[in-house]
Each structure stands twice: as structure tokens, then as C-alpha cells.
Chain A
Amino acid sequence: MSKPTPPLPRWADIVLLPLINLLAALVLCGLVIFAIGENPFAALKVMINGAFVYQGALGYTLFYTTSFIFTGLAVAIAFHARLFNIGAEGQASLGGLGATLVAFAMAPIPGIIALPLAIGSAALFGAAWGIVPGYLQAKRGSHIVITTIMFNFIAAALLVWLLAGMMLEPGQFSPQSSLLPEQTWLPKIHEMLGWIGLKTTATPLNASFLIALCACLFFWVLVWRSRLGYEIRTVGQNQEAAHYSGINVARVIIITMAISGAFAGLMAINQIQGVSHKLILGFTAGYGFTGIAVALMGRNHPVGIFLAALLFGALVQGGTELDFEFTVITREMVLLIQGMIILFSGALAYMFNPPLARLLARIFGTKEDANA
């Protein structure tokens, strides 16, 4: 027991601390870039331009953001029940499979029915892939971290088997399916803007971005306004008290994992129904894992998750640009920057908490103190 740390005011916890973490990561990256002989400020400028300013940049950024929102929400909802879902990657893969299978089955059916069904199927397949580890945790006590990791491998293997086998497009040599029926494609945002007469650059940004925003709202209502959300939070805080109060803890764990899996599964619609229009091996691109960082940085709150997803989207998009413009800065360098940000805002999220809290307490003379 050392010095008591005063708690951070809420605004500082939500806004200031993440910004400081981000800054720290950027400073460190800047030093690395400087060390390899490039100007860190020039690099930063390219990153920002690449992510937001260049023509179509924002569309690309928001396209990645969409995927991160879904996986971030997936990790966050599980976390409200104190479940560490590492399996968003596998659940997203299954979501892709679900969307693809239903889309093919819907070949003769009009889009108005086929499209939502394919989307729902992505969510459903993802949910199913979340339910199994949830069930094993709830009824058998198998640790969710272990099972969800195993399920990532199973999902990956399943997709390889299908895409290299019965789902492989005839005449193709890379593991991917044939094109989905067109009416199951999600409209692009630039197309949608075109319907109302606005001309914008074509980007991969598609209607799933709007679905992601709805998902954020749904998440908020679910967690803080619904009876189920109360049960989820109660189970997350204290399982014994939840049991005492009549909540069926096992049921809540399973349902939470289903919802979590469904969010993760929806990430697939952005990639598959939105852009590639076919199931491609490895389309999840590790975004399921990035979701963990997004949820951590976003403090498991939809607004925070949106902002964190935007940041990671900008990193991916801006990073690609960096790779283009500087010869010494390679893809690996970009990964380093991402890693640094994950490190500071995820793993070391609270490193600056005590000094910041003390500083603020000194400035504002807060009287509140930690309940030691």
C-alpha cells in the first residue's frame, strides 16, 4: 500500500487519458521513424492525409472502421459479463460462411428478402460459434479464453477445407468462392449518395457502416437500458450475487456469447457482402484481435468503441499510404505503429493514470479520494 491515488474525474478518464496514451505511442513511433532516418512529422502528415484528406481516403478509413466497430462491440459485450472473448476472429469467419451460404441459396430470390436474410445469417452463424464456448464455460467450466482461441483454429481449418474443396470456384486456384448473387450485395455509400444526387469518390465504404452505427446504438440500449443488459452487468460484477438475485447465470453467459458472436459475425458483411462479394480465405485479416484493443481503448462503451475503431481504421488506411510514400517505411513499420498504439492504449492503458490523477488533483484541488 503506497500513496493513495485519487480517482480520475470521468471526463479525464474517458477523454484525456486515451489521448495521452495515444500521444505517448506516437512520440515513441516518431523516435523510431527518426532513428531510421525519416522525418517523423512528414510521416505523420502523410498518415493523416492518407487517412482523412486525400480523395476517397475517408471512405477507406470508415470502411475499416466499420469492421473494427463490429469486432470491438463483440469483445466489449462479452467483457460486460467479464468474459474474455478472444474468438471474434473465428466468429467473424463463420459469419462470412453464413452470409455466403445463404446468399447462394437465395440466388433466385429478390434482394429485399435475400439481403437481410444473408445479413441475419452472418449474425446467426457468428452467434452459433460464440454459443458453444459460452455453453462450455457456463455448464462445464471450460475457460472461455482457451475455448475461443481453439474455436478460432477450428473456424480457420473449416474455411480452408470448404474453400479448397466444395466451395472452391471451379477453375480457380486461390481459395475463394465464386461471386455471390448480385442482389445480396450491400450498396456502397457513394452509390447511395448518388441516389440522392450527390457525386462522391468511389470507395469500399458500404451500407454496413450504417448497420455498424445502429449496432452501437443497440449496444448502448442493450447494456444500460434493457433488463437483459442489467443481468449481463450483474453477472459480470458478481456471479454469486447474480445467482442470489434469481438470475440464471449460465443462461446469461450463453446469451452474452451469442450476442458477442453475432456482432463479430456481422463484421463479415462489411468485407463480403460489401466489397469482395465472395468468401475469401483469411478475409478477417486479424480484425477480430484488433477488436480487443478497440474495446479496451473504447472502455467498452459504444462511443469510445466508435472513436477507437476510427483511430484504428485511420491507422490501417494511413499506414498503407505511408508504405507507398516512403521507401524506408515498410508495411512492417506500419504494423509497429499499430502495435505501439495497442500497447499503450490497451496493455498499458492505466500507466499514466496515477501521475495524471495526482496532477489533476493538484490543479483542481479535488477532494475526492480513492476508497482504499
Chain B
Amino acid sequence: MSNLPPMLSLRDFSVSFDTARGPLYAVRNVDIDVADGESLGIVGESGSGKTVLSRGAMGLLPKRVAHRSGTVVYDDHDLSQAPRKELREYWGTGMAMIFQDPMTALNPVRKIGSQLTEGLRIRLQMSKTDAAARGIELLNRVRIPDPAAVMEKYPFQLSGGMRQRVMIAIALACRPRLLFADEPTTALDVTVQAQVMQLLSELRHEMGMSMVIVTHDLGVVAGHTDRIAVMYAGEVVEIAPTKQLFANMQMPYTEALMKSIPRLDTPSGQRLPVISGRLPDPTQPETGCSFASRCPYVTDKCRAEAPPLVEVSPGHSYRCWFPIGGSR
């Protein structure tokens, strides 16, 4: 990685929500840097805080119930305390987000065309015809058939995958410098998925866009990221360059995650391996390691004391007292 200041830098970043049962700690003490042009993957169990982390970094959380702490530095601007008005300056052209649930993120009563060209017209001051032409081009690039007709449709008239690609087109419309892609390909079949990931990679190289890909598809992260952060119960439990992580994982949760990937070469009809148990209650933070209740290697020390983030090799850190490959 270069010595340039990172595009995005999170330090001791935490998010909690006010709930009826007290504060819910969704993201806890995360330190992450995303370099210029880098692609960072975030993987982790459903509910582990991946979406909250990316929304929080962008400043897209409900102010009334969500509390952020720590610092967020985007391109040398400290956004931790910035008011909405200032953040809005960065949204779209600076940072953009592909939302996880396209149906709720799209306005159900506005045509695709008007939602897609809104940013172009407001942020880039394009004329109506230019914006429409660019909108069609964008839809074309995300492989939507018959883009001109789709511009005139409403979200409910599209298939799930088409809506997702419309979301992607909207996020890319203003050529952001940092893209948060929250599960960008969940509704896409493998051929379209490959094309969309290809498109994102191209844009990354063309315009030096940085990217944070949140996904549970380890096939996607394997092929399209430089580094991967594994999240568990709101914490980053392991972070490493992609190849390093696959070859030399340290944290038992990462191992368990990798083991439960269904693969094409396993015969059909077999039971899939699972990680038994479930995420700890996020309103009751653990004293020890957050994975302790499900870890096959757990000891008393794990329950008593939370393991710190330690670095094994440059850029590869993990949280665990008894890492895989270490002496147990």
C-alpha cells in the first residue's frame, strides 16, 4: 500500500442505538483505513454490524437513536462531528452507497429515470437530456436490457436483480471517489454478478475509486478485494490482505465461516456445516471474547478477558488468545 493518506480512515469508531432494552452496541471500536483506489471487503455474520458500520461512516444513521463515537476522516476532512448539511456535500460525488435493500431505498412512486438522473441534475448540473442520456448509458453498463424502457418504469415493475442494478447505477451516477457497496450482488445471478463486479473493478481502475464491499459471498470477496475485514458482534476480529487471509487465517471465527461455504464440488443433498449457537445479545456486551460462546477452542481466559487486536504480519491483525496455527 502507498504512503498517501488514506481515502477513509476510521479510528475507534463505535455506533450504539437507543432501544427499549437500553443501548445496543452495533459497532465497537473499529479501526479501518481504506487507501486510494483500494478495495476492502467486509464479511461477517448477519447482524454483525456491517451495514451499520458503512452507514455510520457515511453519516447515514438516524440521528435520534444512533450515537457515533470515534473519528471518521474522509480525504483529510474530519467528518465525525460534521452536520448533515456538510455531509450532504460529500454524498453522491464523494461518497456513495449501494444500499442493501433496493426496494426500500428506491422511492416506490417515482420513475426509475427521475431517481437515476436526480443526482446528475442536482449535483453535476446536467441538462435534462444529457442526464437522461447518461442515465441510459449507466443502465446499459449494469446490463439492464432495454434501458430506455426501464427509465419509464416504477420500481415494483422491475425484478429484484434489476432493482439492485438500478441502485448500483444510481450510486455510480456521480462518479464517487469512495463507494460503499452493501451486498451489491445478492439478487444477481452469477453471470450478471460477474459482469457487475467487472464493471466495478473497471471503474476502480479508470477513476481510482476506492471501494468497500460488504458481502457474505466469499467468492465475490476472493476475486475482487485487496483486503478483507472479518466482523463479528460489532468488532473487526480479523483483517488481512485477501490472499493472506485465505491462506493463513488466525481467528477461529474466520475458520468457521470459511468451513460453512457451500461449494460446487460437494455432492448434493448433504447437510451443510453450521456454526452452532448465535450472536451474543448486542445490548449485553461480553466481558471476554465475543466469540467465546460458540468457539470450539474456548478456554476460561477467553471468557474472562477480551483479546486485543494483535498484528501477526504487516497488515494482518486478529483478536484471539489462541489463534489457529499458534500453540494451543
The answer to whether A binds B is: no
| Interface, chain A (partner B; CB < 8 A) | none
| Interface, chain B (partner A; CB < 8 A) | none
